[in-house]
Amino acid sequence: MPHSDIDEIIRLFSKLPSLGPRSARRVVLTLIRAREQLMQPLYNTLGKALENIKTCSICGNLDTHDPCVICSDSRREDAVICVVEDLADLWAIERCNLYKGKYHVLGGTLSALDDRGPSQLNIEPLVVRAMADEVKEIILATNATLEGQTTAHYLTNRLADANVNISRLAQGIPMGGELDYLDDGTLGAALKARLPF
């Protein structure tokens, strides 16, 4: 196709997750057809976001304000900090609408393979935050992967001097999970952590 600008938009869209060249083409067609209702608003909000999104200087969250909306929300407890690897994990915890404390976004995990050490993560500011009097608990909500757990262990050492309780997310059978289909690791962990009925 010789439409260079349109081709360029299709190429960019096809780089996004869950979009291939074919669905990107469909997306761009939809945009072109709904120029006023969709393309123009998308352009405007993208521009606003590009201009305003910055990293929160307290927790590492990305937001259009600094400190971010969560850090500056006075209704949220200062006593609990939930440490997550990534923005996506923060969003996931926010979606379950249960947690009312603050966050700390590490920006990844320690990884020997990818040559990522503690200095590349947002760890030092966490240690400083943990020293504050009002902080009582730190929840290490890194992923249940090798790197996530390694990072969590490293953090418990770094936070040893702070006067805080350190906790982690419970492991066990997921909602709706059938024993027959669970991996051995999960089932073993659920058995070890069994609770009185």
User: What kind and span of H or E run contains 122?
Assistant: none
Nearer to a copy of itself by Cβ, of 66 and 168: the residue is 66
For residues 97 and 126, what is the distance between their CA atoms, to the nearest angstrom?
23
At residue 104, what is the residue type?
A: H
- For CA atoms 81, 82, 84, 90, the dihedral sign is negative
Number of Cβ atoms within 10 Å of the Cβ of 134: 8
Q: Which stretch binds a copy of itself (CB under 8 A): 41-49, 77-85, 112-120, 156-164?
A: 41-49
26 binds a copy of itself per the rule CB under 8 A:
yes
Q: Which stretch binds a copy of itself (CB under 8 A): 84-92, 122-130, 134-142, 160-168?
A: 84-92
* Cβ within 8 Å of residue 50, ≥6 positions away: none
Q: Which stretch binds a copy of itself (CB under 8 A): 42-50, 124-132, 152-160, 184-192?
A: 42-50
74 binds a copy of itself per the rule CB under 8 A:
no
173 binds a copy of itself per the rule CB under 8 A:
no
User: What kind and span of H or E run contains 133?
Assistant: none
String marking each residue 95-134 x if it binds a copy of itself according to CB under 8 A: x---------------------------------------
* Cβ within 8 Å of residue 174, ≥6 positions away: 186
Q: What are phi and psi of 157, to 5 degrees?
A: -65, -45
DSSP 116: B
Q: Rule CB under 8 A: choose which of 23, 57, 163, 167 binds a copy of itself.
A: 23
Q: Rule CB under 8 A: choose which of 57, 79, 91, 167 binds a copy of itself.
A: 91
Secondary structure (DSSP) of 46-115: HHHHHHH-EE-TTT--EESSSS-TTTT-TTS-SSEEEEESSHHHHHHHHHTT---SEEEE-SS--BTTTT
70 binds a copy of itself per the rule CB under 8 A:
yes
Within 127-156, which residues bind a copy of itself (CB under 8 A)? Answer: none
62 binds a copy of itself per the rule CB under 8 A:
yes
193 binds a copy of itself per the rule CB under 8 A:
no
Binding footprint of a copy of itself on the chain (CB under 8 A): 1-6, 8-9, 12-13, 15-19, 23, 25-27, 29-33, 35, 38-43, 45-50, 52-53, 62-64, 69-70, 73, 87-88, 91, 94-95
